Structure 1
Amino acid sequence: MRVAFGEIYVEDPSAFRADYAAFIDSKYVVSLEVVEFAANKALKNWQKGRRISRSLPIEILLHYAATRQIKDALKLGVKKGLNRVAAVILDESKMEGFKEIEFRPEYDAEAVVKHYGITDEELEIAGLEKLPLLVRERIALFAAFEEVV
Structure 2
Amino acid sequence: MRLVEGVASVADVGEFVATVGELAEETETTVQAFDARYVVSEAHLRRAAELADRAFERGENVARDRAVEILLYAAGRRQIDDALTIGVSPGETPIVVLVEGSEAGEDAAADAVAERLNFEPAETLGDYDESLVRDFFDVGDAELATVDGDLESLVLERVALLVVEK
What band does the TM-score fall into relative to the shorter chain? 0.7 to 0.9
Other-structure match for 2:62: 52
Match of 2:143 in 1: 122
- The answer to whether residue 79 in structure 2 is matched with residue 69 in structure 1 is yes
- Structure 1 portions without partners, runs of 5+: none
Find the counterpart in structure 1 of residue 2 from structure 2. 2
Q: Which residue of 2 aligns with 1:32?
A: 42
CA deviations on 1:14-60 (whole Å, 9 max, x unpaired) are: 34323321111111111112111112211221233322112211111
Structure 1 match to 2:14? 14
SS for the counterpart of 1:132 is helix
| 2:6 aligned partner, one-letter code | G
Shift in Å, 1:101? 3.1
| 2:126 is equivalent to residue 105 of structure 1 | yes
Aligned length: 145
Aligned-CA RMSD value = 2.0
Q: Which residue of 1 aligns with 2:160?
A: 140
Quick check: 6-15 or 22-31, which moved more?
A: 6-15
> Normalising by the residue count of structure 2, what TM-score does the alignment of the two structures yield?
0.76
* Partner AA of 1:138 in structure 2: R
Q: Tell me: CA distance 1:16–1:46, structure 2 relative to 1, closer, same or farther (3 Å).
A: farther
- Report the TM-score, using the length of structure 1 for normalisation: 0.84
Deviation at 1:104, TM superposition (A): 4.9
